[in-house]
Structure 1
């Protein structure tokens, strides 16, 4: 955030290190000496640093201390749900440093933003200072995302990176049941990841290969179009083997803003994005039978889907409006300056 020339009318302005500060950033990551990066940022009038994810916060702590500016760190999920042993075992330098040097972040971080109450609880367990934690979910642009009419095709949409945490295998098994109960049912999967090949093989093995489309990663506008053209969005996330959990499930909120009912699991922060029986449905992790039942219920009853979707839209406008959430973030910045 850059300084405004008139202190009484200070404005919030983001400054990216990627452009002007890349050499200094590279030098810092290689040597651990923050001064060159701190100098480069200070020359741009930066008055506050905001890091996303705990590992980036650890890197930012030394720079913020060298500059004498406050550091805000947003915790999104894996940074407080993956076990410390798994982070160390990854041998990824940034993760190892995060575990071993997180004490500096705890001491020097001005505020820690959690995207959900679930992440706040996990952050406290990790040792983050509770008195400096703020729960502030990322908002949804309810002006950009407008409600859409229910489509004719009984289509289920799944938007996720294809990794174990997203529960895509459970969804395929549930959809195989739903496809037999709902003629013409389709499943569209938007997202890439290391499990794609095995998931495509599972769809074929379940006999629904012809009804499931794996589109890979798609541009955001195209993804929103698929949300509008689907009757329900499903994100059956689970706790990954390494402990990783869903922080909130932003795609569930974006679908709700479109007026779509959503189906998720009682996992991580998802229950804070879905009101069971009101904006959609929640099922236990790995409960394929319950998942299939909820999908069939919505696919068979478009009027129910519309009621759930309208309630979801109202909830997002009230609790997750991007404009309001941004105002809260800017107010937090100003309180620290």
Structure 2
């Protein structure tokens, strides 16, 4: 941002905060303070700290944190912006309550306070904007504004020799990793040198690792775990294609947009995704990559084999992807729009 100075606020410590960032963590006041905030959504420490910093606006990411920010925004007398990303407007209220997570229960219980107090609800895609309105968010205060990609930092790079596919995702049902493994078993028979790099971790790690063994592709699949952002970008650059075959999870959870798709496109890599959630807003079929139906490993394998076997096709789609990011998702442009919104509210 060029006009505003950010203060990062959270219940927990911020292990990946930018160097030199102004971080406020409730954890510094001890576990009782954190638990009290988790249960009541109120913290005198937080209000005093932000008032001392002369905070002019609160911006919460995800509806859950928006609900938690309402009492603080009211106490400070400042506008509250909330960005809606995906699960917060796609997971059903019944499943949120059944999770037994206090924060999710608070979200369902106190959501109307957010609807009433929130100045603007920023949606990362048109799909999320539609779902937000269906979920009950006031349509007149929703705004579609995707988060951008820093095109000055993420640059196009030459295609590598190795026919590698990269998948960047938390290992949960929504990301479709199991479908990708089934597709990769077919890809590996057609392209024996093919590799699959999976970046991310989650509750399905063990199950997915066992599936790779069962499918006979474990030696060509690498589970890299959670990696720093710079390493993620480096692995994408060392791959021919990024694949994110997201699906609608049993609890209704859907993809908001898929930032990994946009970062890969900015690198000049073609992307393969599903016709799901906000993905079609980040992937133009046969222009920046390919779209296939949800839960269709055969169609997924067909597109991946085509890309791994045709460097010229990869180059054409990668060039299209870079242009899409520059035209619609450039970080400086998107941030300028966000700061303009802040200015209107402040």
How do 1:241-320 residues align onto structure 2 when only pairs under 5 Å count? 241-320=250-329
How do 1:67-82 residues align onto structure 2 when only pairs under 5 Å count? 67-82=76-91
Q: Which runs of 5+ in 1 are unaligned?
A: 2-9
Secondary structure (helix, strand or coil) at the match of 1:197 reads: helix
Secondary structure (helix, strand or coil) at the match of 1:17 reads: strand
1:276-309, Cα deviation, whole Å (9 max, x unpaired): 1100000000011110000001001000000000
1:66 shift after superposition: 1.7
Secondary structure (helix, strand or coil) at the match of 1:97 reads: helix
Is 1:17–2:9 an aligned residue pair? Answer: yes
1:195 shift after superposition: 1.1
Relative to structure 2, which stretch is displaced further, 214-223 or 114-123?
214-223
TM-score in terms of structure 1 length: 0.94
Secondary structure (helix, strand or coil) at the match of 2:60 reads: strand
Q: Distance in 1 between matches of 2:24 and 2:238?
A: 42
1:28-86, Cα deviation, whole Å (9 max, x unpaired): 44544455532331121011011111111011112111221100000010000000000
Conserved? CA contact 2:149–2:331, under 8 Å: yes
Distance 1:11 1:259, change over 3 A: closer
Q: Residue in 1 aligned with 2:15?
A: none
Relative to structure 2, which stretch is displaced further, 31-40 or 46-55?
31-40
Q: Which runs of 5+ in 2 are unaligned?
A: 11-22
Is 1:231–2:240 an aligned residue pair? Answer: yes
Secondary structure (helix, strand or coil) at the match of 2:256 reads: coil
Conserved? CA contact 2:147–2:334, under 8 Å: yes
1:127 shift after superposition: 0.6
Q: Distance in 2 between matches of 1:41 and 1:187?
A: 45
Conserved? CA contact 1:34–1:66, under 8 Å: no
Secondary structure (helix, strand or coil) at the match of 1:156 reads: strand
Q: Distance in 2 between matches of 1:217 and 1:153?
A: 22
Is 1:169–2:178 an aligned residue pair? Answer: yes
Conserved? CA contact 2:146–2:334, under 8 Å: yes
State which of 191, 197, 212 in structure 1 corresponds to 2:200. 191
Distance 1:309 1:20, change over 3 A: closer
Q: Residue in 1 aligned with 2:139?
A: 130
Q: Distance in 1 between matches of 2:24 and 2:136?
A: 34
Q: Residue in 2 aligned with 1:326?
A: 335
Conserved? CA contact 2:243–2:271, under 8 Å: yes
Secondary structure (helix, strand or coil) at the match of 1:282 reads: strand
Q: Distance in 2 between matches of 1:327 and 1:291?
A: 37
TM-score in terms of structure 2 length: 0.92
> What is the total number of aligned residue pairs between the two structures?
329
Q: Distance in 1 between matches of 2:200 and 2:45?
A: 38
